Amino acid sequence: MMKRLLLAFTALAFLATNTTVMAETKSEKEIRLAEKVEFTDVSDHWAKDVIVKMSDKGLIKGFGNGKFLPDENMKRSEFIAALHKTLGITVNYIKAPDINEFFGDVKNDAWFATQLYDLASLNIVDDRDAFRPDAKITREEMVNYLINGYNYKLGIEVDGLGIAVNELDESTDFSDDKNIDIKYKKAVKKATKLGFIRGKGKNIFDPKGNATRAEALVVLEKLLDNLESIKDGLKENKEKQVVVETGYEKSDKSFKMKLKITNNTDKSITINHTSGQKFDFKLLDENKKVIYTWSKDMMFIMVLTDTLIEEGKSVEFSAELDAKSFGDIVSKAKYLQGFIAGTSKDFTIDSKGYEKEIK
């Protein structure tokens, strides 16, 4: 268990810059266009528009003969691969992944092994020991993985903007609620609230029933649309706020730590510093233990100072560590935290700092 936890923590996986809900680079767009496929068996299908949309985005593939087979049941391996692409996950590992650390019935050279390893290491796929890749995915299994992925993306990107679900009431509103496995009920309930799923006739969820390829695509499209709308909302909101970002520049000679404050509001803001110290930096190891504090043993004048940032302007604080003196510390550092030393009536300063992963 500890080994698996370490794998998850050592995965250098900031997703926001690699997701399908972000703006694409030219090369990424070219790849997607190259993956565009036209299917001959969906022209009259109820899910045609969704299938075409997901195909155009390069998120699904057919069977190589121009067919998508929308009414065929989807395999668990197929759904995992499609979910992985929909979430836009990219994970880099310190050592070569071995899928047998999670599952004994999947080989490392399986076409979906890399995607499955990523999702298992992030606990989006929360099964262990046996994955059953060729089995047909059930509706409750599909929803479980979907919500795990949604929760993960929200935890990374929007920090708590999810739909609240009563922890004490795990029952759903479906007439066949008793047939839903207890471990999947929260996911089913949340997916219903988010509009990802709905019941069949007579409000039946049919949890043990197999999901067709078309049904799975519809659910994944709803997930993608939801994430895109959240991303757009965050971007619009960010454009009207004070944004604080920690960054760094790393070279063979030095390690420069930066803390940038951007005023996106329509009025000037002021930061009141209680001394000559306006900022601070901390370096943390892979276990989030502080291994270096920039301000330690430094002397600052005890005169009150202010930092004024006009509307639409930015201020950047920085400190540089030379490789000769601090090389060993920098090589061990996995996270950089930047701190604003002061208070402000114009925006909320996070006393816990602003963290950046060092890659």
Question: Which residues, 6+ apart, have CB-to-CB distance to 292 below 8 Å?
Answer: 282, 283, 326, 329, 333
Q: Do 27 and 88 have their domain in common?
A: yes
Q: Which among 237, 268, 287 is the end of a domain?
A: 237
User: Around Cβ 288, how many Cβ atoms within 10 Å?
Assistant: 11
Return the CATH number at 351.
2.60.40.2360
Domain count across the chain:
2
In which band, very low, low, confident or very high, does the pLDDT at 167 lie, cut at 50, 70 and 90?
very low
Q: Which of 89, 80, 102 is nearest to 1 (CA)?
A: 102
pLDDT level of residue 108 (50, 70, 90 thresholds):
very high
pLDDT > 90 fraction of the chain, expressed in percent and rounded:
62
Which of 237, 270, 290 terminates a domain? The answer is 237
pTM equals 0.58
CA angle 64, 68, 71 (to 5 degrees): 145
**Residue 246 has what pLDDT?**
96
Strand partners, 58: none
Pair (60, 168) in one structural domain: yes
Rounded CA gap, 58 and 32, in Å?
A: 5
pLDDT mean over 191-212? 92
Q: State residue 299's pLDDT score.
A: 87
| Segment 41-67, tens digit of pLDDT | 898 999 999 999 988 888 887 777 788
Distance CA 206, CA 189 (A): 14
Range of the domain at 284: 242-357
- When mean pLDDT is compared across 25-29, 146-150, 285-289, the lowest value belongs to 25-29
Q: Are both 128 and 274 inside the same structural domain?
A: no
Residue 183 has which token pair? Answer: 């471990």
Query: What is the arithmetic mean of pLDDT over 95-124?
Result: 94
Rounded to whole angstroms, what are the CA distances from 173 to 198, 201, 205? Answer: 10, 14, 9
Q: Are residues 193 and 82 located together in one domain of the fold? A: yes
Give the integer Cα–Cα distance in Å for 268 and 263.
7
Domain check: are 230 and 293 in the same one?
no
- Render pLDDT for 80-101 as a digit per residue (tens, 0 to 9): 999 999 999 888 787 889 999 9
Looking at the fold, whether 162 and 251 belong to one and the same domain comes out as no
> What SS3 class is residue 274?
coil
- How far is CA 339 from its chain centroid? 24
Structure tokens at 19: 């997701």
Q: State whether 246 and 322 are in the same domain.
A: yes
User: Do 136 and 113 lie in a common domain?
Assistant: yes
DSSP result, 302-332:
---EEEEE-TT-EEEEEEEEEHHHHHHHHHH
DSSP state string for 103-123 = BSS--TTSTTHHHHHHHHHTT
Tell me: do 91 and 227 sit in the same domain. yes
User: End of a domain among 208, 237, 266?
Assistant: 237
The answer to whether residues 88 and 145 belong to one domain is: yes
Tokens 């993608």 belong to residue = 224
Judgement on whether residues 137 and 231 belong to the same structural domain of the protein: yes
> Residue 169: what pLDDT?
57
How far is it, in rounded angstroms, from Cα 13 to Cα 29?
21
User: Are residue 217 and residue 282 in the same domain, yes or no?
Assistant: no
